[in-house]
Amino acid sequence: MTLLNNMAEITSKKFMGLKNYLYKHYGEEPGKMLVHTGVLSWTLSAAAQVMAVAFNDKISKKEKLFLIPQECADAAINILSFYLVTNAFTNFGVKLVKMGKLTTPKIDKYLKDNKIADIGKITTDISKNMEGEVLDEFKSLKSGISMITNTIGSIASCNILTPILRNEYAARKQKEILSKNNLSNKPNEIPINPNSKPLNMEAYQKLAYSKFSNSGMKV
């Protein structure tokens, strides 16, 4: 028990730097935290997909050489579209509050009383010299707005943009795989014309379960 306690203490101290970093960087910006953990989430999910293909005995080496880069490309689409869109939305909301474009009457009064210049300029940070109640109000407004804009950005990227991009990409890649597979088809198998549009059920099923799951499975 003493050994366990000591180990817990050592581990806890080892990670003190990380814990302090998280506290300092995400303590007041929940929107930023959601963007970064969202990227981590997509990355872990993509890593799981790649591992599932890499360690699947039912998939031949030749197919793996094709499927693994495909999974990586798919992951890049997911991660990039999530990061670019969600981050842009979150930053937009935070910037509106920081530059004084979006305020509350209490913040307005502070800006007027302190004759803050350059309101509405992208380099302005109205909270620079704030303190006390008005700073608390500013922080609450910034957290709330960053959370709202983050959620709108996540919906736009995860639920609209990414599925459209993925469907387009998946259809193109599936046809490429089928085209490659057709070259090695046995004579009695039903040939699938890779150029025929749209993709049929037989072709879909042939591929849909060759992988662990489809690549949209965000954790």
Partner 1 sequence: MSLAGITSYIKNSYLYRVAKSGSNKVQQAFYDCIPNTSIGSEKWQKRIKWVGSEISSPENRLILGVTALMSQPFIDGHNKNVDAETRRVSVCRTIAKIIAGTSTGVLIRYGCIGAINKWSKLPSSVDKLGQKVKLNKLNTFFSPGNAGHDLSEAVKQYRKTLGTILSLFVMSITNFVIDAPLTRYLTNKFIDKSGGVKHDTSK
Gap between the Cα atoms of 25 and 170, Å rounded = 37
Judged by beta carbon, residue 65 or residue 202, the one nearer partner 1 is 202
CB 100, min distance to partner 1, A: 7
List Cβ neighbours of 198 (8 Å cut-off, separation of 6 or more): 171
CA neighbor of 31 nearest in space, from 121, 141, 148, 136: 148
| Helices 201-208/162-183 angle, 10° precision | 90
CB 203, min distance to partner 1, A: 8
On the 0-12 / 13-18 / 19+ scale of CB atoms within 10 A, 138 is buried
Judged by beta carbon, residue 107 or residue 134, the one nearer partner 1 is 107
CB 208, min distance to partner 1, A: 7
Judged by beta carbon, residue 76 or residue 145, the one nearer partner 1 is 145
CB 69, min distance to partner 1, A: 21
* Sign of CA pseudo-dihedral 41, 46, 47, 53: positive
Tokens 């960053």 identify what position?
146
CB 187, min distance to partner 1, A: 21
CB 166, min distance to partner 1, A: 9
Gap between the Cα atoms of 194 and 185, Å rounded = 13
Judged by beta carbon, residue 65 or residue 179, the one nearer partner 1 is 179
CB 62, min distance to partner 1, A: 21
Judged by beta carbon, residue 33 or residue 80, the one nearer partner 1 is 33
- Report the 10 Å Cβ neighbour count for 134: 19
Gap between the Cα atoms of 89 and 216, Å rounded = 22
Gap between the Cα atoms of 38 and 44, Å rounded = 10
Judged by beta carbon, residue 51 or residue 65, the one nearer partner 1 is 51
Judged by beta carbon, residue 54 or residue 160, the one nearer partner 1 is 160
